[in-house]
Amino acid sequence: MSDPKMTSVARDAPVETTAFTRKDFMSLTKARLSLLVVVTTLAGYFVGTRMGLGAFDGWRLLHTMIGTTLAAFGSSVFNQLMEMDADARMKRTAGRPLPSRKIPPAVAFGLGWVLSAFGVVHLGRLVNVEASALCALTLIVYLFIYTPMKRKSALNTLVGAVSGAIPPVIGYVAAAGADAEAIRWGLFVAPAALFLFGLLFFWQLPHFLAINWMYREEYMRGGFVMWSNNDDTGAATGFRAVIYSIALLLTTAAAPFAGLSSWWFLPAALLSGGYMVLLAWRLWKRPDRPAARRLFFYTLLYLPVVLGAFLVFVS
């Protein structure tokens, strides 16, 4: 539960707007996390063009990147507004612009609305309605389901993985260009779209489990209900990491069987996924911070490698 005294301090502390810097803006918009959204959206766009959804269009790609970046920035601002009091209680987030009062919440609220709205509208006007609809869905899931759920249920990680798995599908449907007649529902459930969604969904789970384990005490202090809370032995966290790493391995290995890639992709999927399973297994057997860090950093390497290999061998 929230500490009333801490909440009061976070709300009543003086606002130091003169100290707000470019670095603070990057922190407020979670620029590094937003970069992941942009990269996966970019990958999805190239998959779509490679699979013949539409001819490559540099301007369409640029507008897709602009729209998704703005929306990602806006969602990050709103997320930090909603978790401002919790961030103030955690050492690794207390220095963020909102809990440290470097920017007024009202200003952040306005900025979040402008960025999010412009992102969704930009995609709808200059890319297509399918990309805009998926962008809006991502915002809804992330802000109105995942963020409040973090204080109530450990299942929030699964919901958060859903919102994080949509951006590559945004890129994929964007490659199809605009169609003024009707929403093309089939784009959302195309095999390639489902593959991209599954890849990002299962990738996020061992990634976040490693983070949860490393910072479990801070998450508890912030009032967040995570899988690793009170998992003193780490057995449950490590076991989940193994299960979801295996699911990721099976998802990627299915690509050539589904006709989405050539068989040359299979060795890359098996080797990269197999090593993640190994690191997750090591975390399960010896759940210490070094094992969690190794898994975490490997997930950061894994994603661009596998996405790059898929783009090379896509059918």
Query: What would the pLDDT profile of 115-174 be if each residue is shown by its tens digit?
Result: 999 999 999 999 999 999 999 999 999 999 999 999 999 999 999 999 999 999 999 999
E strand or H helix at 125: helix 105-126
Mean residue pLDDT across the chain: 91
Q: In angstroms, rounded to a whole number, what is the distance separating the alpha carbons of residues 52 and 61?
A: 15
Based on the number of CB atoms within 10 Å of its own CB, is 139 exposed (0-12), middle (13-18) or buried (19 or more)?
buried
* 303 Cβ neighbours under 8 A, 6+ residues apart: 36, 40, 203
Q: Which amino acid is at 310?
A: F
Per-residue b or e along 146-160, where b marks 16 or more CB atoms closer than 10 Å to that residue's CB: bbebbbeeeebbbbb
Percent helix, percent strand, percent coil in the chain, to nearest 5: 75, 0, 25
- Given a contact cutoff of 8 angstroms between Cβ atoms, the answer to whether 251 and 202 are in contact is yes
- Residue-wise pLDDT for 82-104, tens only, equals 999 988 888 888 888 888 888 89
* 218 Cβ neighbours under 8 A, 6+ residues apart: 90, 91, 92, 93
The CB-side HSE value for 183 (13 A sphere, CA atoms) comes to: 10
Give the Cβ contact number of residue 259 at 10 Å: 10
Based on the number of CB atoms within 10 Å of its own CB, is 32 exposed (0-12), middle (13-18) or buried (19 or more)?
exposed
The model's pTM: 0.90
- Given a contact cutoff of 8 angstroms between Cβ atoms, the answer to whether 256 and 263 are in contact is yes
Give the Cβ contact number of residue 15 at 10 Å: 16
Query: Tokens for 202?
Result: 């299962």
Residue 19 is predicted with a pLDDT of 58
Write down all domains in the chain, each with its CATH number in brackets. 1-184 (1.10.357.140), 190-315 (1.20.120)
- Residue-wise pLDDT for 181-200, tens only, equals 778 999 999 999 999 999 99
- Given a contact cutoff of 8 angstroms between Cβ atoms, the answer to whether 223 and 151 are in contact is yes
Instruction: With H, G, I as helix, E, B as strand and everything else as coil, classify residue 287.
Output: coil
Average pLDDT over residues 264-283: 98
* 282 to 19, 196, 220: CA distances (angstroms): 44, 27, 24
List beta partners, residue 314: 261
- Residue-wise pLDDT for 250-261, tens only, equals 999 999 999 999
Q: What is the CA radius of gyration of the chain?
A: 20
- Measure the N-to-C terminal CA separation of the chain; round to a whole number of Å: 51
Residue 20 is predicted with a pLDDT of 65
